Amino acid sequence: MAASPVRTPRRKTLALTVSTALLALTAPAVTATPAAATTTAYDSTYYRNAVGKTGTSLKSALHTIVSSQTKLSYSALWEALKVTDQDPANSANVVLLYSGKSRSKSLNGGDVGDWNREHVWAISHGDLTTSTGPGTDLHHIRPEDVTVNSIRGNKDFDEGGSAVGGTSTSYTDSDSFEPRDAVKGDVARMILYMAVRYEGDDAWADLEPNDKVGNGSNPYTGRLSVLKQWNEQDPPDAFEERRNQVIYDSYQKNRNPFIDHPEWVEAIW
């Protein structure tokens, strides 16, 4: 990794604090703006048993909804990722999650310079394996440069560290990884999808977020307070929404509820 500036956590910037304070002088009860309530075309159909609920009742309803799905094999992920993560500006390429680079679809593999299958919920956190199940769930698997994927390893997500070689905007330190700003919310929504989808009522571990880093092989991923912040600062964009739709229409027949309704993150956690 090249020498690079060390970045310190910036969970709340001075600028935000000052501007909030100034706003407080001129307007009553101004607080950090949570993700706005949204309505989608699926509210009266796919989400009809979840709309209006909060807390564990919402989480339970969403678990039932998203658990009805088609499952892919590990090998089938290669071709699926070429569709779900296609570069909108170049249909011969995929966009790599953490580096943001556009790379030829044909460079899938395990050599330096290739892209491979990054498990955003790290395989070791709850022993996902690559058998059909959470370890092959397309909702949290993204193309990434082989070397960058290896640097992320099984680290939890948090802010801070040094710039990751091969990317200009992702950071890492000894126990955590910070994705580039444009995908911070994507990462948060993928982790929280996994928490709702996998509740320990099948052959797999009950996956849950917590507010720690260094979770190792435990079925947890952190840091929840940071993921919640990322969900708000990076709302779903056209790329993420298209991806959710393609997975629903063409592969798994289930949706990531937090892409459709980012405000459900706060409603549950």
Question: Of these, 43, 114, 199, 241, which contacts Ca ion (CB under 5 A)?
Answer: 199
Give the residue with the Cβ less far from Ca ion, 134 or 166. 134
Q: For Ca ion, which is the closer residue by CB, 160 or 219?
A: 219
Any contact of residue 202 with Ca ion (CB under 5 A)?
no
From the list 109-117, 147-155, 182-190, 209-217, the region that binds Ca ion by CB under 5 A is 182-190
Minimum gap (Å) between residue 20 Cβ and Ca ion: 24
Residue 205 found at the interface with Ca ion (CB under 5 A): no
DSSP E strand stretches across 22-120: 86-87, 90-95, 102-104, 115-119
From residue 128 to residue 167, the character string flagging contacts with Ca ion as x (rule: CB under 5 A) and all else as - is ----------------------------------------
From 34-42, 43-51, 187-195, 222-230, give the range in contact with Ca ion by CB under 5 A. 187-195
Give the strand pairing for 90-95 and 6-7.
unpaired
Beta strands at 90-95 and 86-87: parallel, antiparallel or unpaired: antiparallel
State the Cα–Cα distance between residues 22 and 30, nearest whole angstrom.
10
Residue (237 or 266) nearer to Ca ion, CB: 237
Q: Which of 168, 206, 225, 250 binds Ca ion (CB under 5 A)?
A: 206
Instruction: Return the sign of the alpha-carbon dihedral for residues 89, 94, 98, 99.
Output: negative
Parallel/antiparallel/unpaired status of strands 208-209 and 220-221 = parallel
- Beta strands 176-178 and 156-157, pairing class: parallel
Distances 126 to 54, 108, 132, 176 between C-alpha atoms, Å: 26, 26, 15, 17
Binding region for Ca ion (CB under 5 A) out of 125-133, 153-161, 171-179, 192-200: 192-200
Binding residue for Ca ion, selected from 122, 195, 224, 265, defined by CB under 5 A: 195
Smallest distance, Å, CB 14 to Ca ion? 25
Cβ-based nearer residue to Ca ion, 161 or 179: 179
User: In whole angstroms, what separates CA 159 from the centre of its chain?
Assistant: 15
Which residue type does 58 have? L
Report, in Å, the least distance between residue 152 CB and Ca ion: 17
Q: What angle do CA 217, 220, 224 make, to 5 degrees?
A: 140
Binding interface with Ca ion (CB under 5 A): 185-186, 195, 199, 206-208, 234
